[in-house]
Structure 1
């Protein structure tokens, strides 16, 4: 059963405009369906984050944050799948399944599943394709003043005031009934 509701706005269309830079992936493509590997294990996926790499960000970038948000989740507030903060400016790639040692000093805050790290796609069965907005934020600070127990929304609030530029890729995912 498809849930009848309007399409949510892209979250970054609602924030102050910042310059863009290049984000690409060997695993997911803008506007294309993601493989089940990047879906949550509760729906039969492997629950691994896709590989991401970026370039052409501002020269005065001091650090990065990476987020993944589903604006199409039927919650009234979307669904945060990933919020990774305090990546050093020299990190320009995350491997597939990035976690722990792959984060080069950065850390994740709990996602909306209530767990640490990446939480894969899991839209309601039969719902329309959901957009998964992977964003890399180039920051004017080396570290955000947040702790691992911060909510992703609080991270997003802090990102608004420290983002020099942003790169985004929006793959989709849908579970058939």
Structure 2
């Protein structure tokens, strides 16, 4: 298992360095910071408030299912963070400094990406017309976290998976209640 973990870390290191060298430029940083900021949680509350203001009676399922999804995602997120205790990129590369202060010490999985994919999946289920926009936004949050230097690409993939699975599981649980 240690060999597999080392190979995964090396692949992730290489992918991270490639993004930093080939994709990340100073002109991307303000937009990356803003996109990352939309994943801090306040934006999800705005989406929920908008759904309730638009049609509270018909959008209650969206709200309740989203609450269940976030409850699942947060529990699994904390479990995985403390199980893997994977250091952030600047701990791996002595000459690298992240462009923002990370929200916690460990990087796996990306909580911003997981939460964004919970919301994107919920939007696809309840408001499919917003599906493509929601997925593009969630992917942008994940990319912004790599561009800002606080996550490896593998953290983003894990966050995507966690968010989608949490939302789908919440749908199943919510409809059983």
TM-score normalized by the length of structure 1? 0.25
Higher relative strand content? 1
Q: Which protein is bigger by CA-based radius of gyration? A: 2
TM-score normalized by the length of structure 2? 0.25
Higher relative helix content? 2
